[in-house]
Each structure stands twice: as structure tokens, then as C-alpha cells.
Amino acid sequence: MLKSMRKHTKLIIWIVSILFGLTLGGVSVSSILNKEGQIAGEVFGKKIFFQEYDRFYKAAQIFSFGNEDTDTPDTLRQNAWQSLILAREAKNQGIQVTDEEVRSEINRLLEAQGVMNVTPEIYKKWVQATVREEPAIFEKQLRELMLVQKTIRQFNEAPVEEPAGAEIEQRFKMEHFKMTASTVSFDKIEEAQEFQKQAAGSSWDHAARAKNAEPQTFGPDSLVNLARQKDLPINFLLDLTKHEPPYISEPFPIQDRFAVLQMSALEAPDPALLKENETKYRDEIVQQKKIIRFLTWSNQLMQRANLKDYLPKPES
């Protein structure tokens, strides 16, 4: 297979790691994967023999390059199953990687490393010395990883619904509206409700003194920063922009408590900024929609795959 392309190169990491939330125990499999005919697990209701799993496991080792974050038995095992499931899904969808595509990838890797005019013999020796596999096996591993990558790429290249004007305006508000506010939190919702009524009926400061509460004040800052730093719901902050300050909110849950917020100031930007940044926000929203779509698809894929891992558990 691809005999003319078996040349010397140093691989570049491009394997895609998809977090499916697998709960697999780490184990060294080198001592068991040579047992012909034994079962490593099941995906999509079909048995996976050790030989197939071993190929994906070794590919995960090759493309980890000794990286401490990706070279642990747990992670290698996880990546092997992830790639195997994606490769099976690609075949179910009729997606293929041709010999020409594999040749082009090898050429690309060679050129990136400045390796020119390499003979098949040099390439063969390098594969045997570095990967410790025969070139045909290595190229099969490369093809399968390219198949995984191609499947993900084709899925992500599919169009998503174009953002509506309201979505773009919302993204603009998140980044450019600046709010100054303070909050008071309570253990019980009844306490927060009582404080909110008292603050709305008199004043924020008077209600805080009456409750012997110390408001936390923050801002001015963008809504997106406040949401991240203060753990405030972004949709809650966006709703506040519909009101004129000073404005006292209804009680809302935050972590394991209940809070009331007073918006004391709200700075709105020049509306011209929205027009200037419209394309930027549109692209960001499209990418966000693609990420959400991909995560949904990957979760559904794992559910359909119904992985059953029969590999030995690590010794305690």
C-alpha cells in the first residue's frame, strides 16, 4: 500500500481529541493486545477485536509524542475508543480517504519538515525505527486518523442557520454595555423577597442597613465580564438593560443563595459600533452555533455507539 510514498518524516500532531465524557480506567494494554480473536469491547452493537483496538491505541501513542497530558494510559485508551467510534461512524456514512489523500498528507508533512528527495528505503527504515511498525500498518493508522479528521471537518463545514438581527444586537450588548451594580445575598428566598420590597419602597442603602447587610459593588464593566467574574446569568444581565437605572431586580438564585441586585448605572455605547462590528459578531455567533451543534452530535453519537469496554481494569 502506497509503496512509493514510504519516506522519512517526523509527524506533526493533528489528531483531534473529542471529549465524550468517557469514564474509562487506564491500563497498559501491550501485554494483552496480541491475543488473537479476543474481544476488547463493543460499539454500535458489534464486537471490537483486540487487533482493531490495538491499531487505534498505538496510533494514539504515536500522535501523542510523549505529551504528558495525552500520553497517560487513561487518555490513550480514551482517544483510542473515540477515534475508533468516529472511524466506524465515517464508514457508516460512506466517507472515505483515498490513496491520493494519504499521499498528499505525507507530502505535506515532508515539506513542512524540509525533507526532500527521500527514498522509499529511508522512509521504511524511519517508520520501523520510530513508529516500530511496518509502513503498511503505519499508513493504515494514518488513513484512519485522517478519516476521523475528515468526518469532523465535513460535519463542521455544513451550514448553520444565519444569526438573526436580535442575536447580533445581543452579542453587541454583552461586550459594549457597561454596568455598575451591587448585590446583597441571603440564605432563604423569603429573606431576599423581603429585602427587595423594602429596598423598592424606601432605598437600597436604607434596606441594607436595616438588614445589617453589606452590599457587594462592582463595575463599571461589560456584561460578559460581570457574568464570568461574578457568576451572574448573562440573560439576567441582558434583561436589566431594558430598564433605566437605578433599578432593583427581583430575587434570583446564585450558587446556593438568593440575591437582589441594584443597577446604579448603565453606559450604552455609540450605536455606530454595532454597524462596524456586525460582521465580526455574525461570524462569532455562527461558530458558536457550530460548536453547540457538534457537541450535541457527538453526545448523540456516543449514545448510539453504546460503548462497552471489556479491557481489564487497572490494578489497585
Where do the domains of the chain lie, and which CATH numbers do they carry?
A: 3-159+299-309 (1.10.4030), 178-267 (3.10.50)
Q: Rounded to an integer, what distance in angstroms lies between the CA atom of residue 176 and that of residue 268?
A: 7
The DSSP bridge partners found for residue 160 are none
Q: Which of 77, 101, 72, 82 is nearest to 15 (CA)?
A: 82
Q: Which residues contact 139 (CB under 8 A, 6 or more apart)?
A: 1, 2, 5, 6, 102
Q: Rounded to an integer, what distance in angstroms lies between the CA atom of residue 120 and that of residue 3?
A: 7
Is the peptide bond prior to 246 cis by the omega test (within 30 degrees of 0)? yes
Looking up cell 436589566 gives 240
Question: Alpha helix (H) ranges present in the chain?
Answer: 50-62, 73-92, 99-112, 120-126, 135-157, 165-176, 189-201, 204-210, 223-230, 234-240, 272-276, 278-305
DSSP string for residues in 36-49 = TT-EEEEETTEEEE
Tens digits of pLDDT across the chain (316 residues) = 344 333 333 332 232 333 232 223 333 344 444 455 589 999 999 999 998 998 898 888 877 655 666 678 888 898 899 999 999 999 999 999 999 998 888 777 767 666 677 788 878 877 777 678 888 888 888 898 899 999 999 998 999 999 999 999 999 999 999 999 999 999 999 999 999 999 998 899 999 999 888 999 999 999 999 999 999 999 999 999 999 999 999 999 998 999 999 999 999 999 899 999 999 999 999 999 999 999 999 999 999 999 999 988 655 4
